[in-house]
């Protein structure tokens, strides 16, 4: 495999929409309320968020390999360290480089947004490392979904809104909640697929703690909840209905999740769940901009 291809796959580009769509949603809410859009903070926030996710993905690649969780026989997509495409040292170096680029974006964002952005940035970098780093990695316990909900929902949407307005409103937090719940569903698919291997390797994810039947209902709730909460944005008028256009896909994925046997087919369900999160986020963005 080409060196460049190995790095491209190690960054997991198909999942990057999970970090980029919240930035778009938060900026759209701000535009709806102020009628203005600050492009430089938006672009810096998007680039910084993508870099943090790439760094987190790379640390995860190296960390899971070193702990024996990822092997060439894993059900999920191939990983660079497990397949021998890249050395652990190189992968960790790439992760730190991604974090360094995010930090550089953060310097500008802090100058623009002040101390709240310092807190958001440092917490995001620390959490990205701690997801599979340190003595008690977040990914090896039951809080993976909570981590994603907080950082790819509340923090990403709320922080993007704050960069545009230097304030925070209930609508921004509600939009962050909707986006974050769907982002958490992506992790639920991943952990459900890997349930048996994770349990055997002491990776006690929420799926392992709950078991497969309860996790199927957790995924159902995560997929449906954002639609059920849309009426709380009724002040938007009829555009609030636009995200419902993605509901058929959500129901289709719920059916597949309940019906299909755990295995490689869940790679497609995971990718489609990330796609649903993007579709819902873009439709929600449209709700705030028309």
What local confidence, expressed as pLDDT, does residue 70 receive?
75
Angle, helices 17-34/170-193, rounded to nearest 10 degrees: 170
Quick one: which of 156, 155, 226, 157 has its CA closest to 185? 226
Tokens found for residue 225:
């909840």
pLDDT band at 76 (very low <50, low <70, confident <90, very high): confident
**What is the CB neighbour count within 10 angstroms for residue 247?**
16
User: Which residues have CB under 8 Å from 167's CB, separation 6+?
Assistant: none
SS3 261: coil
- Taking the C-alpha atoms of 37, 182, 208 and 134 in order, what is their torsion angle to the nearest 10 degrees? 0
CA distance 285 to 133: 34
Tokens found for residue 155:
């923090």
Q: Are the C-beta atoms of 64 and 74 separated by less than 8 Å? A: no
What local confidence, expressed as pLDDT, does residue 67 receive?
83
Tokens found for residue 194:
């890997």
What local confidence, expressed as pLDDT, does residue 78 receive?
84
- Asked whether residue 73 carries a pLDDT value surpassing 80, the answer given is no
What local confidence, expressed as pLDDT, does residue 72 receive?
75
Mean pLDDT, the chain, integer: 93
Segment among 77-86, 178-187, 246-255 with least mean pLDDT: 77-86
Number of domains, the chain:
1
Question: What tens digit of pLDDT does each residue of 223-275 get?
Answer: 999 999 999 999 999 999 999 999 999 999 999 999 999 888 899 999 999 99
CA distance 199 to 290: 47
- DSSP letter, residue 233: G
**Cα–Cα distances in angstroms (integers) from residue 135 to residues 129, 221, 265, in the given order:** 11, 31, 32
Question: What tens digit of pLDDT does each residue of 86-125 get?
Answer: 999 999 999 999 999 999 999 999 999 999 999 999 999 8
Q: For the whole model, what pTM was predicted?
A: 0.93
Positive/negative CA dihedral, 127, 128, 133, 139: positive
What local confidence, expressed as pLDDT, does residue 4 receive?
82
Segment among 111-120, 127-136, 204-213 with least mean pLDDT: 127-136
pLDDT band at 39 (very low <50, low <70, confident <90, very high): very high
What local confidence, expressed as pLDDT, does residue 218 receive?
98
CATH of the domain at 116: 1.10.600
Range of the domain at 262: 3-289
């Amino acid at each position: 495999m080409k060196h460049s291809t190995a790095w491209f796959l190690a960054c997991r580009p198909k999942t990057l929409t999970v970090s980029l769509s919240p930035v778009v949603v938060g900026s759209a809410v701000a535009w709806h309320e102020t009628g203005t859009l600050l492009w430089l903070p938006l672009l810096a926030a998007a680039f910084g968020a993508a870099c943090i996710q790439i760094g987190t993905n790379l640390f995860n690649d190296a960390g899971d390999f070193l702990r024996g969780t990822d092997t060439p026989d894993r059900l999920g997509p191939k990983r660079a360290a497990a397949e021998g495409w890249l050395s652990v040292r190189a992968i960790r170096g790439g992760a730190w480089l991604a974090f360094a680029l995010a930090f550089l974006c953060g310097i500008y964002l802090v100058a623009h947004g002040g101390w709240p952005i310092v807190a958001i940035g440092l917490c995001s970098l620390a959490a990205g490392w701690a997801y599979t780093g340190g003595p008690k990695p977040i990914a090896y316990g039951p809080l993976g979904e909570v981590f994603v909900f907080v950082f790819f929902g509340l923090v990403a949407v709320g922080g993007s809104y704050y960069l545009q307005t230097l304030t925070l409103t209930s609508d921004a937090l509600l939009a962050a909640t909707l986006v974050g719940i769907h982002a958490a569903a992506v992790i639920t698919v991943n952990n459900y697929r890997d349930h048996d291997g994770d349990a055997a390797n002491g990776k006690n994810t929420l799926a392992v703690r709950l078991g497969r039947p309860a996790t199927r209902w957790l995924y159902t709730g995560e997929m449906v909840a954002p639609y059920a909460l849309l009426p709380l944005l009724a002040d938007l008028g009829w555009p609030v209905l636009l995200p419902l256009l993605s509901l058929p896909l959500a129901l289709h994925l719920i059916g597949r999740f309940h019906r299909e046997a755990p295995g490689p087919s869940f790679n497609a369900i995971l990718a489609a769940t990330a796609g649903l999160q993007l579709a819902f986020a873009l439709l929600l963005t449209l709700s705030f901009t028309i």
